[in-house]
Amino acid sequence: MPLRDSIDEIDVLLADLAELRQALCRAELSGSPEDALWDAEAGLRHVARRSEARARILRRAIELNLRRSA
């Protein structure tokens, strides 16, 4: 279960990063990247928090698996 959920979460995180990249590219082309940079910074922090949460879930799953194996 954690493996499939993690794969799905990574897919979502990648999509979020791709959207951030596209927004920055559009802002660069329009000549107004300042506001987009603030939005991207907030978006990256959000992705980082979600990534960290997923890493904690995986760490707990690993620890539980190790306890069961012992």
**Tally of structural domains, the chain:** 1
pLDDT band at 35 (very low <50, low <70, confident <90, very high): confident
Is the model more confident about 21 or about 31? 21
Domain enclosing residue 32, as ranges: 2-69
pTM: 0.78
**Model pLDDT, residue 33:** 80
pLDDT band at 67 (very low <50, low <70, confident <90, very high): very high
Secondary structure of 4-60 as H, E, C letters:
HHHHHHHHHHHHHHHHHHHHHHHHHHHCCHHHHHHHHHHHHHHHHHHHHHHHHHHHH
* pLDDT over 70 (residue 1): no
